[in-house]
Amino acid sequence: MTMLQIDNLCLDIHGTEILHDISLSVGPGEILAVTGESGSGKSLTALAALQLLPQGATMRGQITLADRPLSDLTEAELCARRGRDIGMVFQEPMTALNPVQTIGAQVAETVRQHHHISRRAARLRAEETLVRVGLSPDRCPPDRYPHQLSGGQRQRVVIAIAIVLGPQVLVADEPTTALDVTTQAQILQLLARLAREDGMGLMLITHDLAVVAQHADRIAVMRHGAIVETGTARAVLSNPQHAYTQSLLRAATRRVELPPRTATTPLLSVQNLSRSYRMPRRRLLESPQLVQAVHDVSFDIQRGERVGLVGESGCGKSTLTRAILGLEPLQSGRVTLAGTAISPDKHVIRAARRHMQVVFQDPFGSFNPRHKVRRLICEPLHLLDTAPSENERNRMVDEALFDVGLTSSDADRYIHEFSGGQRQRIAIARALLIKPDLVIFDEAVSALDVSVRRRILDLIALLSSRHGLTYLFISHDLSVVRSVTDRVMVMQAGKIVEEGSTHNVFTNPRHPYTRKLVAAVPHLDTTELPH
Amino acid sequence: MSRPFMLGAVLSAGFILMALLSLIWTPYDHTGLNIPQKLLPPGGAHLLGTDHLGRDILSMVMVGSRTSLAVALVALAIGFSVGVPLGLAAAANKGNWLDEAIMRGNDIVFAFPLLVMAILITAVFGPSAVNAIIAFGLFNIPVFARVTRGAALPLWEREFIMAARVAGKAAPRVSLEHILPNILNVLIVQATVQFALGIQVEAALSFVGLGVQPPTPSLGRMLADAQTLVTLAPHLAIVPGVAIILIVLGLNLLGDGLRDILDPRLRRRPA
Amino acid sequence: MQRYIVKRLGSLLFSLLVASVVIFVVIEIAPGDPAAFMLGINAQPDTLAALRAELGLDAPKIQRYFAWIGGMLSGDFGTSYTYRTPVSDMVADRIAVSIPLAVFALLLSVLIAIPAGILAAAKRNKSADLAVLGATQMGVAVPNFWFAMMLVLVFAIKWRWFPAGGFPGWEDGLWPAIRALTLPAIALALPQAAILTRVMRSALLDVLGEDYMRTARAKGLSRRQTLWRHGLRNAMIPVLTIVGLQFSFLFAGTIIIEQVFYLPGLGRLIFQSISNRDLIVVESVVMLVVFGVIVINFVVDLAYAAVDPRLRDRT
């Protein structure tokens, strides 16, 4: 018996074919993972299952929910099924809840939409479900508003909304992509548990193969709007048939070849750095609470070292980065770069920046859209005391572009003509233009698809061996940090709780928080797949 | 190019050209009194009729539009040239005393309705076109400061601004090189809105005697003169009123169209 | 929530303080001596001095500022230079016209704009939406006092449905008063309704694109239910701002409309006082209007917090 069956689904939006001949099925208690990179059409497949398609979409093929083809149903009949027979969990828990309604009311609404029961009874049912998804009334009462909850808690509310009526199928579209790694593990376990306990079919949309490996019974791999391979999780992951699946798996598992470390003289030294923020007062006559974003942090980076900094959102790593870059004043402590202490003095900061550059996360946000690549790359030249001649400058731009695998003709194009991965290459070219001693990678690959990410990491390794880079690699993604660093620091609540060689920290974590982090990372180890 | 945008562009350009033309040519001398020819209805030799003193209304509308456009434009220039730098400075210094002072000052100016401000200024300096310009110019300053700050603030969080700062550029330079060009679209749209509002404000102030003074014609003054005669000769009120509506409509349509054209979110992204 | 209110209250008091100082200073630097103006050009120096002492004009400026503010706070707005009557008395009569007119106009504006905005957003890009948009585009462009003249021409002079001007007072019953205020209120309200309709429409369209609207659809709500249950309240947040701004605007707008309809409101009082150089009246009435505007903005801030729980926890 199948709960949800999709046969030969084709989808056009304004005449452009987006999905082509998709066939899938989910049985009771079964977890089907639909995976692929961005633009593969996996989210639209999910929305098609609920018949919540964007305007201008036309669909062919058949979708059957609990043995009833959806195409036979009127919109009113579809409404009667959504929320009752099929539920959906969305990617972005921060925006998926109505900000002006309590969480209890939002869960109860699903109940009252489908059953004519009293407000009180619906509220009781909602409370039970909130407990079931791990939001007990003593710690997170149902009269809270969404903005008072963390991202993980909000996602639990969204799940409660979707499962409160015990649907036959739950569609989860990248339910953990926006969450921290430890929260991600909890939410995935919750979803898997609910599917098994209720005999509910779970269609899990994810770009992360490791998530797939740990939880899915079956896998469908999508690319360019079509399914390229499907089968049991074990079969697909251990013996992928299609070349694309093979390349995805390679990208996710292969290690980057870092060149051996070279000389060791101190480059960056951070001593007793602290930075706190004032929190808004909750009550009138309360003294304001201080939050220690960074608390008494000290570390050194040697020339030629590749150091990682990992931690979950809010741990203080971005504040620390901004402090090192001199973008934010220090409250106490000292940062010394190449022998000079960084002070708020303009000239000192300018001199320091000559020695360090940064690559940011967002490949769409880190460039002024109105400038051509040549001008964008040349921006750090302001830091030099003598401006290079035009010829010299062009030579430097050509060299920098070549270094990152682009060509000199790219210098005269606008940034919107490039893909995300290419933009990140341009960001690296800009950072390396003035040959800084230290490069800071601030979540530099977090926004990229797995295969693009792999190529950028390879590029970083290549540039390391070519130029002997020293860098600080900041990321929430442990597996990325593991692959491109020699040494790693783990940050929690403003403090560095563990530090050591990358290999040691990951294979033999000592601090309980590090252990929790490492355990939460989904593994893509093809030898331990579920049967 | 959408049709409303084209209509707006044609209307705005038409009135601006007509106002400029009035500098060198009008059908009749707009100050020429001709009592025997008074209160003629539209049509005939006087295309839009004559007023109670026999002056040609078309000529007066041409010259009056020029006055109204000039008042609105100068007040706009005051608001833009003071408000935008204030807004940029406030955004660059978010949260510190400068930002606080600018925003507080804005709140105070906002507390004075435009008309009240004009009344205060008139009470002190007497009614004149210059004082109307000053009142509306003052009113425009916090408008532009607020819009500029609001558009600039999210940009300061963007990574390309941080990248520019890491590249060693100081805040004023970042504001000029990176912030201003990226918020110019918002400012241009706001400018068309304030320009259109300026036409209406000139009309309102002159109507109640706080703006342009006789004998200078303006669209608002023509309406003030028409008020007592409207039952006798409705065209005295209808013609300048329709002129105001068409200018304002034109500028607003132009602004809406520019918003769509200049909005970077609507620009094509690569596949 | 407490803290939010206290903070807003603090900024309200600060604005009032600065505004009162500005008004006081501006009136102070206004040329002309009220006493000399009242007595005419042939006044004797000693009678002039006596009148100045009587009006309190010889006291130091700081002292006079506090006397003025103290008086305003206790409801004593001073004595008119020209009419020699208490300003409070004159204002009380006039306010009984201006405030009802502004409230009437605001009600009309909201009653027109909210349904029109919802209709336009619900029928986005269909003919109903385009018609509403076209009408608002016109409405925004029409000057309210010109529109008032046209209303008089049609409804008062041609069809005689409403009086062309004047105000019978509230003593003769509600209906004649409301009839006298109807055309002025319509003239004030329609251009504002046009703006509010556009805001309502775009606020709703913004909200329709939010993720939580999709969540609501996934719960099984129909399009219409999503709009009413989740869309409206969230869309009210920007609409409230504009309603607040509009009330200030309408309050000031009455000053001009009163000129068209010969209504004995605050506006006519101000213009008479300006031409009589009766500056104490101008000073007090302007302060009163500014006070009204600042208080309305405060009330809007509180209304915000009632609609948006996120604001209650923020400072």
The CATH code of the domain that includes C164 is 1.10.3720.10
Q: Which residues of C touch A80 (CB under 8 A)?
A: 220
pLDDT above 70 (res B44): yes
Q: Which residues of A touch B170 (CB under 8 A)?
A: 346
pLDDT above 70 (res A482): yes
**Which residues make beta-bridge pairs with A69?**
A64
Q: Which two tokens stand for residue A314?
A: 């809010």
Between C128 and A361, the more confident residue is C128
Which of 3.90.1200.10, 3.40.50.300, 3.30.450.20, 1.10.3720.10 would CATH assign to domain A4-253?
A: 3.40.50.300
Confirm whether A4-253 and A267-278+287-520 share one CATH topology. Answer: yes
Pick the range with the lowest mean pLDDT from A504-508, B175-179, B231-235, C187-191. B231-235
Bridge-based pairing of strands A16-26 and A4-13 is: antiparallel
Beta-sheet strand order (sheet of A57-65) = A16-26, A4-13, A57-65, A68-69
Could you state, in order of their start, the residue ranges of all structural domains in chain A? 4-253, 267-278+287-520
Q: Is residue C22 part of a domain?
A: no
User: How does residue C187 score in pLDDT terms, banded at 50, 70 and 90?
Assistant: very high
Highest average pLDDT, of A127-131, A406-410, B34-38, comes from A127-131
Number of structural domains chain C divides into: 1
The per-residue pLDDT for range A195-225, each reduced to its tens digit, is 999 999 999 999 888 888 888 999 999 999 9
Pick the range with the lowest mean pLDDT from A103-112, A249-258, A496-505. A249-258
Q: Mean of the per-residue pLDDT values for chain A?
A: 87
The per-residue pLDDT for range B48-84, each reduced to its tens digit, is 788 878 788 888 899 999 999 999 999 999 999 999 9
pLDDT above 60 (res A451): yes
Q: E strands of A332-395, at which residues?
A: 332-337, 340-341, 356-359
User: How does residue A528 score in pLDDT terms, banded at 50, 70 and 90?
Assistant: very low
Chains in touch with B (≥3 Cβ pairs < 8 A)? A, C
Give this complex's ipTM: 0.87
Question: Looking at residue A148, what is its pLDDT?
Answer: 87
Does residue C190 belong to the interface with chain A, where contact is any CB pair within 8 Å?
A: no
Q: Is residue C230 part of a domain?
A: yes
**Architecture in CATH of A267-278+287-520:** 3-Layer(aba) Sandwich (3.40)
Question: Looking at residue A276, what is its pLDDT?
Answer: 82
Q: Is residue C206 part of a domain?
A: yes
Q: Stretch C116-141: mean pLDDT, rounded?
A: 91
Which residue in C273, C282, C243 sits closest to C111, CA to CA? C243
Q: Is residue C183 part of a domain?
A: yes
Residues 6 or more apart whose Cβ sits within 8 Å of residue C114? C196, C200, C239
Distance CA(A379)–CA(B268), nearest Å, equals: 26
Do B166 and A380 lie within an 8 Å CB cutoff? yes
Nearest CA in chain C to A110: C219
Question: Looking at residue C315, what is its pLDDT?
Answer: 45
Q: Mean of the per-residue pLDDT values for chain C?
A: 86
Question: Looking at residue A530, what is its pLDDT?
Answer: 40
Do C137 and B252 lie within an 8 Å CB cutoff? yes
Question: Looking at residue A263, what is its pLDDT?
Answer: 62
Question: Looking at residue A318, what is its pLDDT?
Answer: 83
Question: Looking at residue A118, what is its pLDDT?
Answer: 93
pLDDT above 80 (res C34): no
Question: Looking at residue A419, what is its pLDDT?
Answer: 85
Question: Looking at residue A525, what is its pLDDT?
Answer: 61
Q: Stretch A24-42: mean pLDDT, rounded?
A: 91
Question: Looking at residue C276, what is its pLDDT?
Answer: 81
CB pairs under 8 A between B and C: 113
> Best mutation site among A277, A321, A359, A366 for testing chain B: the one with the most B CBs within 10 Å?
A366
Between C20 and B41, the more confident residue is C20
Between A387 and A153, the more confident residue is A153
Do A99 and C6 lie within an 8 Å CB cutoff? no
- A277 CA: distance to closest CA in chain C (Å): 15
Chains in touch with A (≥3 Cβ pairs < 8 A)? B, C
Q: Is residue C31 part of a domain?
A: no
Q: Which of B164, B182, B268 sits opposite A370 (nearest CB)?
A: B182
Grouping H, G, I as helix, E, B as strand and the rest as coil, residue A168 is: coil
Q: Stretch C288-293: mean pLDDT, rounded?
A: 87
Q: Which two tokens stand for residue A385?
A: 């005391």
- C41 CA: distance to closest CA in chain B (Å): 20
Question: What's the helix, strand, coil split of chain C in %, to 5?
Answer: 80, 0, 20
pLDDT above 90 (res A86): yes
Q: Stretch B159-179: mean pLDDT, rounded?
A: 86
Beta-sheet strand order (sheet of A487-492) = A356-359, A438-442, A471-475, A306-310, A487-492, A495-501
The per-residue pLDDT for range A286-323, each reduced to its tens digit, is 566 677 788 899 999 998 899 999 988 878 888 888 88
Do C15 and B196 lie within an 8 Å CB cutoff? no
What is the pTM (predicted TM-score) of this model? Answer: 0.82
User: How does residue C149 score in pLDDT terms, banded at 50, 70 and 90?
Assistant: very high
The per-residue pLDDT for range A370-420, each reduced to its tens digit, is 888 998 898 888 888 788 888 999 999 999 999 999 998 899 988 888 888
Q: Which of A327, A362, A427 sits opposite B165 (nearest CB)?
A: A327
Question: Looking at residue B240, what is its pLDDT?
Answer: 92
Q: Stretch A80-85: mean pLDDT, rounded?
A: 92
User: How does residue A21 score in pLDDT terms, banded at 50, 70 and 90?
Assistant: very high
pLDDT above 90 (res A126): yes
The per-residue pLDDT for range B87-132, each reduced to its tens digit, is 999 999 887 888 888 888 888 887 788 888 888 887 778 888 898 9
Nearest CA in chain B to A381: B167
- B100 CA: distance to closest CA in chain A (Å): 17
Bridge-based pairing of strands A487-492 and A306-310 is: parallel
Which residue in B199, B233, B245 sits closest to B218, CA to CA? B199
Question: Looking at residue C310, what is its pLDDT?
Answer: 80
Question: Looking at residue C119, what is its pLDDT?
Answer: 92
Cis? peptide before B215, omega within 30° of 0? yes
